[in-house]
């Protein structure tokens, strides 16, 4: 079998076990908004938000660096 396929199967089975063990509902409140969801789903959303935020910050800094390398002036505010 392909090593990549084996690693994908192992990681997906670990993710399924993680979700199955963390199904306890938690209540989340923000200002006047409240909802209830499983703790594993909350951790997944927090992880995805961190990935997206990191991707945007990296893209912004790379864009700023490439503009600076081309000789364009970049002012900090």
* Per-residue model confidence (pLDDT) at position 76: 61
Residue-wise pLDDT tens digits, 44-61 = 888 889 889 999 999 998
- Residue 59 in domain: yes
Mean pLDDT of all residues in 25-38: 90
Domain that holds residue 21: 3-69
Q: Is 60 exceeded by the pLDDT of residue 73?
A: no
The answer to whether position 45 is within a domain reads yes
Beta bridge partners of 38: 25
Is 39 a member of any domain? yes
Q: Domain total for the chain?
A: 1
Residue 34 included in any domain: yes
**Rounded Cα distance, 2 and 62, in Å:** 35
76 lies in a domain?
A: no
Q: Calculate mean pLDDT across residues 1-11.
A: 88
Residue 24 inside a domain? The answer is yes
Determine, yes or no, domain membership for 77.
no
Q: What is the pLDDT of residues 11-22, one digit of tens each?
A: 889 888 888 888
Q: What is the pLDDT of residue 71?
A: 60
């Amino acid at each position: 079998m392909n090593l990549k396929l084996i690693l994908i199967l192992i990681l997906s089975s670990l993710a399924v076990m993680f979700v199955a063990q963390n199904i306890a509902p938690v209540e989340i409140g923000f200002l006047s908004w409240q909802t209830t969801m499983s703790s594993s789903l909350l951790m997944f959303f927090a992880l995805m938000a961190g990935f997206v935020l990191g991707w945007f910050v990296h893209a912004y800094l790379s864009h700023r660096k490439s503009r600076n390398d081309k000789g364009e002036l970049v002012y900090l505010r």
